[in-house]
Every structure is written in structure tokens, then in C-alpha cells.
Amino acid sequence: MTTSIGRRTSYLAVPAHLLLWLIAAFHMLLLAALFVAFLAARPAAAEEAACAGRNLMVELQQNDPARYAEALKEADATPNGKGIFWKIEKPGLAPSWLLGSMHVTDPRVLALPPRAQAAHDAAGTIIIESDEILDERKATAALLAKPELTMFTDGTTIDKLLSPEDYKRLEAGLKQRGIPLGAVSRMRPWMISSAVALPACEIARKAKGVQFLDQKIATDAVAQGKQVKGLETLAEQIQAMADLPIEFHLKSLIETLELGDKMSDVVETMTDLYLSGDIGLTMPMLKTVTPEDKGETNDYAAFEQRVILDRNKVMAERAAPILDGGNVFMAVGALHLPGKDGVIELLRQQGFTVTAIN
């Protein structure tokens, strides 16, 4: 895969489906809220937007059974790829609980499974990825204190980084969403992506004050007098994105725009997989949405290490001493749970027994 950066052409060793994983892995709604704060207005397209999207896996099963079977086979081979709710135990401790979350405002997602809701209500301590999401104003202020994470601070504008062709594509894509390119030209690409990667209905619900799942879990806990602890700062999360090459983010932004209405289908499919507990099927599904070219390299070790594995390790290490107190309800992004280097396996390596609850 190649992309033109300014007047040069750079090679991107990142399969296209990983661009969508980046969208799935972070609090994109919170970044979108910050984006809106910068513009002092929300995109007009989000005002009356209705949620619409179809399940791409259903279509894949009908149109390409062989490829669908391959996706299922890959999912079945993923350790801990089934289930979003888990019990955490260690001798001598009251049991704790782990929920894989999805960072959206969809009411289907906000309605916790009954056993998860009961565990949340009975827990003494709540763990989430970042407790800064409890106060978006403070979160915004914290990020603005490090402007280099969200804005170009050296006079760079995004038009200087894109080829004329990609610049026109970006301008047209943003215009379609009611966003003038001139107003965002000094923003880092991942900030702009936050406003275009999510379906308009998600942006609209957020603009009306609807909380995404992690926020609701934390807010409900505070209302119940519980202690809420975070595992990362928002600055740390955004730094993980900032550590990836700028070329990666530019390509991500352009490809996200080109997906257009299909992004609604992607989010709907991810939501259906989440609700059914088929977390291990998420990555195979994303590969079917934007399949990599045969000539592309599959060497995405740097991406996987920085965005996935490093953060999994941080979450597990920082959660362990809190879990050692027992009676904890922990909620982190569901995509951090599966895999041999996922949070579940890392907690097991620290002496916890982690069991799926159906």
C-alpha cells in the first residue's frame, strides 16, 4: 500500500483493516467531543441523524460462505475470544468481575447483562480505563495542556502533508459532513478522524448528553458512593496514537472517509458481535471490510505493540494491586480481552483465575 505525503510517496506497512481497529480501540466519542469543543459547534449532519447499518457478517455468510468460514475459524482459534463478562478469583479474596466494554452510546450496549449489572452494584471499587472521563471539562483541559497531542504546533497544516489528490478527497469528505477543512487544518489527523469515523447517530446522541458505556458505568458508581479508579490517563492513550507514524494516520483518515456510509455497517456489525459475545470475531470481520492487497506486507508489529500489547500490559499491571483488594468491578474495552497477550491472559499470569460467565 502506498500513499502520497506532500510531494513524496511513502510505503505503509500497515494492512488497511488495522485502521478500523484503531477506531475501535480508543475513546473516539470523547475525542469527537473535544473536536466539537475546538469548533465550538457540532457537525450539522449529526442533528437529525437516524441510526442505520446492516450486519456485514450476515451478508458475508450469504455471499461468500468460504470466506465467512475462514473468519469463524480464525475467531475460534483466538484465546478468550468468546464472552464479554468474566469472573476474577484468587484464594482468600472476594471475587471480582471483568466486563469488556464498547465505547458507544447505543442503548443496546448501555443495558448491561443482568449479572454484570448486579456485580457492578455490589462491588466496592470500580475500575475503568481512565477515570478522567467522569468530567469531560477536566479531561479536555488536561489534553489542552499538551497541545502537541491534538494540534500541529510547528506551523504545519494538513494540506502540507497530503498530495493534491488526497487533499481534495479530504476536503470533499469533510464538506459532506458539514465540516470546513479550514477550521481543522491544524488538527492532528486522529482528531479529525474522531469526527468522521463514527456514525452520525453516535455523534448526535453524544451531543445530546448521552454517555457512552464506560462513562455511564463510572457515573453510576459515583452516584452509589463507590470509588472509581482509572488505569490510564487520556494523554497516555492519545500518546499511543501519536507514537504511530503520521503517514499511518493520514492514510487512516482518507480511507475512513472513503468508507463513507459503510462505517455505519462496520459499527453495527461490531455492536452485534459485542452483544453476542463474539469478540474474537471482530478482527476477522474487519479484515473482510478492507482486505489487504496481496502485495502488502503483513509486518505490523510496531502497530500491534504500541496500540494493543503495550496498553494491555499497562492495564493488567495497574489493575492487579486493585484487584488484590477483592470485590472489584473492572470495565475495559472488549478488544483488549482476547488473545494470548490480552488482559485476561495477563491477569492469569499474575495469579488470578479468570472464568467466562455466560
Indicate the SS3 state at residue 81. Answer: coil
- pTM, entire model: 0.87
DSSP letter string, 208-268: TTPPPHHHHHHHHHHHTT-EEEESS-HHHHHHHHHTS-HHHHHHHHHHHHHHTTHHHHHHH
CA distances from residue 93 to 99, 155, 347 in whole angstroms, order as listed = 19, 55, 15
Q: Which position has the grid cell 486522529?
A: 190
344 close to 99: Cβ distance less than 8 angstroms: no
Q: Tell me which DSSP letter residue 7 carries.
A: T
Q: How far apart are CA 192 and CA 187, in angstroms?
A: 7
Every domain of the chain and the residues it spans: 2-356
Indicate left, alpha or beta for 326 from its phi (over 0: left) and psi (-120 to 50: alpha).
left
CA distances from residue 324 to 318, 329, 342 in whole angstroms, order as listed = 11, 12, 19
Going residue by residue through the chain, which has 358 residues, state the pLDDT in tens, using 9 for 90 and above: 333 334 333 333 344 455 556 555 655 556 655 665 555 544 444 444 567 889 999 999 999 999 999 999 999 999 999 999 999 999 999 999 999 999 889 999 999 999 999 999 999 999 999 999 898 888 878 777 888 888 899 999 998 999 898 888 888 888 877 788 888 899 888 888 877 777 878 878 887 888 999 999 999 999 999 999 999 998 888 888 888 888 878 887 887 787 777 888 888 999 999 999 999 999 888 888 765 544 444 435 667 788 888 999 999 999 999 999 999 999 999 989 999 999 999 999 999 999 999 7
Q: Are strands 2-5 and 8-11 parallel, antiparallel or unpaired?
A: antiparallel
